[in-house]
């Protein structure tokens, strides 16, 4: 018997941001987890003053998914996951700059 897997995709960009509920679902987390990320300054909403109004761009989706993965895989707290994420982004940035000199 053959198995068929159906995948769906959602384009996320400046013109089509995601809501807090969608972001939480993408990260397999509760919306309160997203609120905590915003409160800690890890994840800035693209617009909106209150959580129910917040929308997030693809950059925020990527950051949130990385934080969720770091917490899950390494069982670290939110502060450690945020620090790890910042360091990984800095390394990526520096490698990009280094590549321009080669």
What CATH code is assigned to 18-100?
1.10.1660.10
Q: What number of other Cβ atoms are within 10 A of residue 12's Cβ?
A: 20
Task: Compute and round to an integer the Cα radius of gyration of the chain.
Answer: 16
Coil/strand/helix, residue 56: strand
What's the pLDDT at 96?
95
Contact at 8 Å (CB) between 37 and 60?
Answer: no
- Tens of pLDDT, residues 73-102: 999 999 999 999 999 999 999 999 999 987
What's the pLDDT at 1?
73
Strand stretches in the chain, DSSP E: 18-19, 55-56
Q: Distance between CA 78 and CA 90 in Å, rounded?
A: 18
Domain regions of the chain by residue span: 18-100
What's the pLDDT at 46?
93
- Tens of pLDDT, residues 6-59: 665 556 555 679 999 999 999 999 999 999 999 999 999 999 999 999 999 999
**What does pTM read for this prediction?**
0.81
What's the pLDDT at 8?
58
């Amino acid at each position: 018997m053959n198995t068929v897997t159906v995948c769906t995709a959602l384009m996320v960009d400046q013109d089509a941001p995601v809501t807090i509920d969608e972001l939480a679902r993408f990260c397999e987390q509760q919306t309160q987890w997203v609120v905590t990320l915003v409160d800690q300054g890890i994840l800035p909403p693209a617009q909106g003053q209150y959580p129910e109004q917040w929308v997030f761009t693809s950059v925020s989706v990527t950051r949130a998914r990385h934080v969720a993965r770091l917490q899950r895989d390494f069982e670290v707290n939110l502060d450690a996951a945020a620090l790890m994420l910042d360091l990984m982004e800095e390394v990526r940035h520096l490698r990009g700059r280094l590549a321009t000199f080669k």
